Protein backbone atom coordinates (compact mmCIF):
# COMPACT_ATOMS: atom_id res chain seq x y z
CA UNK A 1 0.00 0.00 0.00
CA UNK A 2 1.33 3.44 -0.90
CA UNK A 3 1.98 6.14 1.64
CA UNK A 4 0.31 9.44 0.81
CA UNK A 5 1.62 12.76 2.15
CA UNK A 6 -0.56 15.87 1.97
CA UNK A 7 -0.23 19.42 3.21
CA UNK A 8 -2.67 19.73 6.09
CA UNK A 9 -5.15 22.56 6.50
CA UNK A 10 -7.40 23.71 9.34
CA UNK A 11 -9.85 20.86 8.71
CA UNK A 12 -7.14 18.47 9.96
CA UNK A 13 -6.73 20.03 13.44
CA UNK A 14 -8.51 17.26 15.35
CA UNK A 15 -6.61 14.56 13.44
CA UNK A 16 -3.25 16.17 14.19
CA UNK A 17 -4.29 16.58 17.82
CA UNK A 18 -5.13 12.89 18.15
CA UNK A 19 -1.91 11.69 16.48
CA UNK A 20 0.20 14.14 18.50
CA UNK A 21 -1.26 13.17 21.87
CA UNK A 22 -0.99 9.44 21.31
CA UNK A 23 2.49 9.54 19.77
CA UNK A 24 3.94 11.91 22.36
CA UNK A 25 2.49 9.90 25.25
CA UNK A 26 3.92 6.67 23.80
CA UNK A 27 7.37 8.16 23.17
CA UNK A 28 7.82 10.35 26.24
CA UNK A 29 5.15 9.52 28.81
CA UNK A 30 7.57 7.34 30.78
CA UNK A 31 9.89 10.34 31.29
CA UNK A 32 7.30 12.30 33.27
CA UNK A 33 7.38 12.05 37.05
CA UNK A 34 4.03 13.79 37.27
CA UNK A 35 1.33 12.36 34.99
CA UNK A 36 -0.91 15.38 35.61
CA UNK A 37 1.77 17.63 34.09
CA UNK A 38 1.95 15.27 31.10
CA UNK A 39 -1.83 15.46 30.63
CA UNK A 40 -1.82 19.26 30.95
CA UNK A 41 1.03 19.56 28.45
CA UNK A 42 -0.78 17.35 25.92
CA UNK A 43 -4.06 19.24 26.32
CA UNK A 44 -2.32 22.59 25.85
CA UNK A 45 0.04 21.61 23.03
CA UNK A 46 -2.50 19.60 21.03
CA UNK A 47 -5.57 21.72 21.63
CA UNK A 48 -7.43 21.70 18.28
CA UNK A 49 -8.20 25.43 18.52
CA UNK A 50 -4.52 26.21 19.09
CA UNK A 51 -3.57 23.88 16.21
CA UNK A 52 -6.05 25.66 13.93
CA UNK A 53 -4.33 28.99 14.68
CA UNK A 54 -0.94 27.38 14.03
CA UNK A 55 -2.13 25.89 10.73
CA UNK A 56 -3.17 29.37 9.58
CA UNK A 57 0.28 30.89 10.09
CA UNK A 58 2.13 31.53 6.84
CA UNK A 59 5.45 30.31 8.23
CA UNK A 60 4.09 26.93 9.38
CA UNK A 61 3.60 23.87 7.25
CA UNK A 62 1.98 20.69 8.49
CA UNK A 63 2.38 17.50 6.50
CA UNK A 64 -0.05 14.67 7.13
CA UNK A 65 0.80 11.05 6.30
CA UNK A 66 -1.83 8.51 5.28
CA UNK A 67 -1.62 4.73 5.12
CA UNK A 68 -4.61 2.85 3.71
CA UNK A 69 -6.71 6.05 3.87
CA UNK A 70 -5.97 6.51 7.58
CA UNK A 71 -4.00 9.48 8.93
CA UNK A 72 -1.07 7.90 10.79
CA UNK A 73 1.57 10.61 11.17
CA UNK A 74 2.38 14.27 10.78
CA UNK A 75 5.24 16.74 10.68
CA UNK A 76 5.30 20.42 11.57
CA UNK A 77 7.83 22.66 9.87
CA UNK A 78 8.56 26.29 10.63
CA UNK A 79 9.98 27.70 7.41
CA UNK A 80 11.85 30.52 9.15
CA UNK A 81 12.86 29.73 12.71
CA UNK A 82 16.17 30.81 14.19
CA UNK A 83 17.96 28.83 16.86
CA UNK A 84 20.52 31.08 18.57
CA UNK A 85 22.86 28.09 19.01
CA UNK A 86 23.30 27.85 15.22
CA UNK A 87 25.43 30.43 13.41
CA UNK A 88 23.16 31.27 10.51
CA UNK A 89 20.40 33.72 9.71
CA UNK A 90 18.68 31.25 7.38
CA UNK A 91 17.18 28.31 9.27
CA UNK A 92 14.15 26.04 8.93
CA UNK A 93 12.91 24.08 11.96
CA UNK A 94 11.49 20.58 11.92
CA UNK A 95 9.46 21.15 15.05
CA UNK A 96 7.55 17.89 15.21
CA UNK A 97 7.50 14.59 13.40
CA UNK A 98 5.28 11.87 14.83
CA UNK A 99 4.02 8.53 13.60
CA UNK A 100 1.45 6.47 15.48
CA UNK A 101 3.26 3.62 17.27
CA UNK A 102 1.44 0.85 15.41
CA UNK A 103 2.57 2.33 12.05
CA UNK A 104 6.24 2.82 12.87
CA UNK A 105 8.77 0.84 10.88
CA UNK A 106 6.87 0.78 7.56
CA UNK A 107 8.32 3.94 6.03
CA UNK A 108 5.88 6.62 7.21
CA UNK A 109 8.56 8.65 9.00
CA UNK A 110 10.89 8.39 6.01
CA UNK A 111 8.12 9.51 3.64
CA UNK A 112 7.52 12.56 5.85
CA UNK A 113 11.27 13.27 6.01
CA UNK A 114 11.58 13.00 2.23
CA UNK A 115 8.86 15.65 1.86
CA UNK A 116 10.58 17.87 4.44
CA UNK A 117 13.86 17.63 2.53
CA UNK A 118 12.05 18.49 -0.73
CA UNK A 119 10.48 21.48 1.01
CA UNK A 120 13.93 22.64 2.11
CA UNK A 121 14.85 22.91 -1.58
CA UNK A 122 12.10 25.49 -2.03
CA UNK A 123 12.77 27.39 1.21
CA UNK A 124 16.59 27.25 0.77
CA UNK A 125 17.75 27.64 4.37
CA UNK A 126 21.36 27.12 5.36
CA UNK A 127 20.20 24.52 7.88
CA UNK A 128 17.21 22.48 8.94
CA UNK A 129 17.33 22.06 12.69
CA UNK A 130 15.39 20.04 15.23
CA UNK A 131 15.61 18.95 18.81
CA UNK A 132 15.12 15.50 20.24
CA UNK A 133 15.26 14.11 23.74
CA UNK A 134 18.69 12.73 24.55
CA UNK A 135 17.23 9.30 25.39
CA UNK A 136 15.31 8.96 22.13
CA UNK A 137 17.92 6.75 20.43
CA UNK A 138 15.53 5.49 17.76
CA UNK A 139 14.81 9.05 16.61
CA UNK A 140 18.47 10.06 16.84
CA UNK A 141 19.47 7.14 14.56
CA UNK A 142 16.68 8.08 12.13
CA UNK A 143 17.79 11.72 11.99
CA UNK A 144 21.46 10.77 11.59
CA UNK A 145 20.52 8.40 8.75
CA UNK A 146 18.90 11.41 7.09
CA UNK A 147 21.95 13.66 7.37
CA UNK A 148 21.39 15.40 10.71
CA UNK A 149 24.25 15.81 13.15
CA UNK A 150 24.24 16.68 16.85
CA UNK A 151 25.55 20.17 17.45
CA UNK A 152 24.37 21.43 20.84
CA UNK A 153 22.20 20.59 23.84
CA UNK A 154 19.49 22.54 25.53
CA UNK A 155 17.00 22.13 28.36
CA UNK A 156 13.22 22.47 28.22
CA UNK A 157 10.90 22.71 31.21
CA UNK A 158 7.44 21.18 31.33
CA UNK A 159 5.72 21.86 34.63
CA UNK A 160 8.34 21.29 37.32
CA UNK A 161 10.43 18.88 35.27
CA UNK A 162 13.47 19.74 33.15
CA UNK A 163 14.25 17.69 30.03
CA UNK A 164 17.55 17.58 28.13
CA UNK A 165 17.54 17.67 24.33
CA UNK A 166 20.04 17.39 21.50
CA UNK A 167 19.89 20.12 18.89
CA UNK A 168 20.57 18.48 15.52
CA UNK A 169 21.26 20.23 12.24
CA UNK A 170 21.12 19.25 8.59
CA UNK A 171 23.13 21.49 6.26
CA UNK A 172 21.16 22.23 3.12
CA UNK A 173 23.27 22.44 -0.02
CA UNK A 174 20.52 23.31 -2.45
CA UNK A 175 22.58 23.09 -5.63
CA UNK A 176 23.89 19.61 -4.71
CA UNK A 177 20.85 18.00 -3.12
CA UNK A 178 17.87 19.44 -4.93
CA UNK A 179 16.32 19.08 -8.32
CA UNK A 180 14.41 22.33 -7.91
Could you tell me which of 12, 19, 21 has the C-alpha nearest to residue 41? 21
Splitting the chain (180 residues) into consecutive groups of 10 residues, what average pLDDT does each group show? 93 98 94 94 96 97 96 97 90 96 95 95 92 95 96 91 95 58
Residues 118-147: tens digit of each pLDDT: 999 889 899 999 999 999 999 999 999 999
Scanning the chain, the segments in alpha helix (DSSP H) are 13-28, 35-45, 48-56, 108-123, 137-145, 174-177
Going by their DSSP bridges, the two strands 60-67 and 70-78 should be labelled as antiparallel
pTM of the model: 0.92
pLDDT on residue 71: 98
Distance CA 99, CA 142 (A): 13
pLDDT on residue 1: 64
**Domains along the sequence of the chain with CATH:** 3-177 (3.40.630.30)
pLDDT on residue 176: 46
Amino acid sequence: MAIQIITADTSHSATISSIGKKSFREAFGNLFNNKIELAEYLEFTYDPVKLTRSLRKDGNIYLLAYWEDRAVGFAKIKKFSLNPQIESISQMELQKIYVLPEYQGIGIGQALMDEILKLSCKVSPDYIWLDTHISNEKAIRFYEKNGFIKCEKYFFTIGAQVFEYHVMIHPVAVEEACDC
